[in-house]
Amino acid sequence: MKPTKTLEQFEHTAAGLVVRAPAKINLSLLITGKRPDGFHGIETVMAKINWYDELLFEPAQTDGIDLICTGPHWAPDGEENLVYRACQLLYERAGKIPSVRVTLTKNIPAGTGLGSASSDAAAALIGLNRFANLNQPDSVLNKICASLGSDINFFLGGPLAYCTGRGEKIEEIHENCGFSAILLMPDISVSTKDVYGNYTHTKQEYANLSEKINPLLRKKRIDSVAKICANMLTESCFDLYPQLEQIKQDCERFCDSKVCLSGSGSAMYMLISEPLEKFLQVQDYVKKKYNCESRVIYNNRW
C-alpha cells in the first residue's frame, strides 16, 4: 500500500474552509499513578501522523451549529460530538451567535487510541476561529480544549510533544523526529475508560521505565525513546482484548520487530527499518489471518 502524503492543514475551496485533523500515535506512554482528582497521571510522547479526518466549514442558512457527520466511520451528531461542543464554547467565549455548517468526514475510527475525536475538536476550534473571524487568542483555545478532554491541547500545537498531567500539559519538542511505520488497525473498538479502570499501577515498572526514558528525553533522543516501545497500558488492554496480544505476537515473530500499542488501543504500530519488504509483507499477513487493516504512516509536518 502506498503511503498518503502529508497534506496541508488548511485548504480553501469553493464550498468553504477545509481543516484537516491528524491522528496521533504515542511513542511512549508511562502512567505515574492515580491522581487526587481520580484521573491517572501520564507522561507521554505524542506524534501526529499523516492520516486525517476533515472538517468543512460553510456559511449556515440559519442561526445555530449544523453538524453533519459522514465518511467511512461513524461519529455522533449534535452535542454528543466534541466538534459541536468545541464550536459552541468558542462562540460563547467570542460573544457571537452561532451560525455555521460543519461537515465532519470521519476517516479514522474511534476506539483505536489514535486520538481522532480529540484532534477533531482541536481542528474545530482552529478552523472556526479562522472561518468566522472570531479572533480568539491561543490562550482561550487552550482553555476550551482542557475543559473538553485530556489530550485535546496537544493537537493545537506542533507535530511532536511531551505531555504530562492528564495529558493537557504540553511541552513541544522541536527536534526533528522523522519516522515511518506500519499502522495496524484490528476491527476492535477499545474503551479507554475500561482500560484505565482495569489498570493496576506498578511503581517499580514506572521507576524502571522513567530511568531509561528521562535521560533520552533530556538529550532529545526521541528516536531512541520510540524504540523502547513503552506503554504501561498494554497489559490492561490485552487483558480485556486478548486478540490484540495475539496479533502483536504474530507480527513481532513475522518481522522480528517490536509492535507498540498506541494510547489505550486498539491500534498498534511497527517502526519500519530494513529490510522494508518484510514490513510491507506483514500487511497481507494480518489481513488474511485477522482481517486486520493496515497502512504505511509517516510523521506529520505540522
Residue spans per domain, the chain: 10-172, 180-203+233-298
Which residues are part of the catalytic machinery? 24, 151
pTM for the model: 0.95
* Whole-number pLDDT of residue 2: 46
* Whole-number pLDDT of residue 1: 43
* Whole-number pLDDT of residue 176: 83
Of the options 3.40.50.1820, 3.90.330.10, 3.40.50.300, 3.30.230.10, the CATH number for the domain spanning 10-172: 3.30.230.10
Q: Strand, coil or helix: what is 163?
A: strand
* Whole-number pLDDT of residue 285: 96
Q: How far apart are the first and last CA of the chain?
A: 23
Geometric angle at alpha carbon 42, from 243 and 223, rounded to 5°: 75
* Whole-number pLDDT of residue 4: 52
User: Which cell numbers in the block locate residue 189?
Assistant: 473498538
Q: Homologous superfamily of 180-203+233-298 in CATH?
A: GHMP kinase, C-terminal domain (3.30.70.890)
- The beta strand positions in the chain, using DSSP E, are 10-12, 17-34, 40-58, 64-70, 99-105, 160-164, 169-172, 180-185, 260-261, 268-271, 293-298
Find out whether the peptide bond into 294 is cis, omega within 30 degrees of 0: no
Taking 70 as the pLDDT cut, the residues of the chain under it are: 1-5
Burial class of residue 110 (count of CB atoms within 10 Å of its CB; 0-12, 13-18, 19+): middle
Residues 258, 255: Cα–Cα separation, whole Å: 8
User: Which cell numbers in the block locate residue 29?
Assistant: 506512554
Residues 299, 183: Cα–Cα separation, whole Å: 12
* Whole-number pLDDT of residue 5: 66
